[in-house]
Amino acid sequence: METIFQLLISGILLGGIYALAAMGLNLIFGVAKVVNFAHGEFLMIGMYAAYLLSEHLNLNPYWSALLVFGFGALVGTFFYLGLIRYTIYKPELTQVFATLGVGILLQNLALMAFSADYLTVQVFSAGNESIAFLGTYISTTRLMSFLFAIVAMALVMLFLKKTYIGKAINAVSQDLTAARIVGINVHKVLIVAFALGIGLTALAGCVLVPSFYAFPTVGSSFVLISFVVVVLGGLGNVPGTVAGGILLGIIESIAGYLEPDLKEATHFVLLILLLAFLPHGMFGVKGAEKEGLK
């Protein structure tokens, strides 16, 4: 029983982190209908930014989270203005290759700047790396990352429901043509959506760096996980991302316990099954495919 409880706790904590990592991807898709294949590299940027702030300003990632989020939002703004605004009306393959090219560029820039070394940030001392709870042990870094993820996701959902720009984002995601008719500035909404989406992705990287190593291709691992979470929760469904992330974390935790060698394979198997039997995810809405943005 203790083993099952341990697996559930570990899976939930890991799933909350996965949900935060995928939320930016899902938010951007929900509003702009753009699948960002550079998503993992923006998460990598957040990890390296947290590492640099720790090394040079002695700020641990939990204190520098807002700074990294702001930096990520700035990067997201330039990403939209410099590339996406010129490809958003183009065929899907144009967007795929454009964002994929950005991802490859960012990987190589990271390789030039940091080499292929594995970097991390030590936040807690050796005696404080885990917390005993009801006969189980909880990783302190993963617990902190989970708490940050829950707070960040709650604030995002509050922002989307209670603010004017948040309601405008929801309106554009539901019906872009109708949003234009009622006077919503779609261009500004897309800027905010990309700033918020990439900012959340960088924030996820920031709170992940105490638990995972930062290296130039780390994003390749998380981008697959993010796609599985997004498909599981439903494309364009931000609350569904939370449920999808936690469910994936639990599945991965159990699979890793039963057969560690198959842990990574569960992502591919789950993605294939989802696309075959639940293409709209658990909470997705049919008809969420890309509409004309012109």
DSSP character string of 149-168: HHHHHHHHHHHHHHSHHHHH
62 within domain boundaries: yes
Q: What is the mean pLDDT of the chain?
A: 84
Compute the distance between CA of residue 73 and CA of residue 27 in angstroms, rounded to an integer: 13
Crossing angle (nearest 10°) for helices 238-258 and 2-32: 140
Give the model confidence (pLDDT) of 223-259 as tens digits: 888 888 888 887 767 778 888 888 888 888 888 777 7
177 within domain boundaries: yes
Residue carrying the six token digits 């992330």: 245
12 within domain boundaries: yes
Residue 138 has phi, psi (to 5 degrees) of -110, 130
Compute the distance between CA of residue 193 and CA of residue 25 in angstroms, rounded to an integer: 10
Q: What is the pLDDT of residue 79?
A: 95
105 within domain boundaries: yes
Q: Quickly state the pLDDT bin for 1 (edges 50, 70, 90).
A: low
Residue carrying the six token digits 């591919």: 268
Give the model confidence (pLDDT) of 142-166 as tens digits: 888 888 888 888 898 899 889 999 8
290 within domain boundaries: no
Q: Which residues pair with 119 in a beta bridge?
A: 214
Crossing angle (nearest 10°) for helices 92-114 and 39-57: 30
pLDDT exceeds cutoff 70 at 293: no
What's the pTM value of the predicted model, to 2 decimals? Answer: 0.88
Domain count for the chain:
1
Q: Are 15 and 248 in contact (CB under 8 A)?
A: yes
Range in 185-199, 202-216, 222-236 the model is least confident about = 222-236
Compute the distance between CA of residue 170 and CA of residue 199 in angstroms, rounded to an integer: 18
228 within domain boundaries: no
153 within domain boundaries: yes
Domain limits for position 150: 2-217
72 within domain boundaries: yes
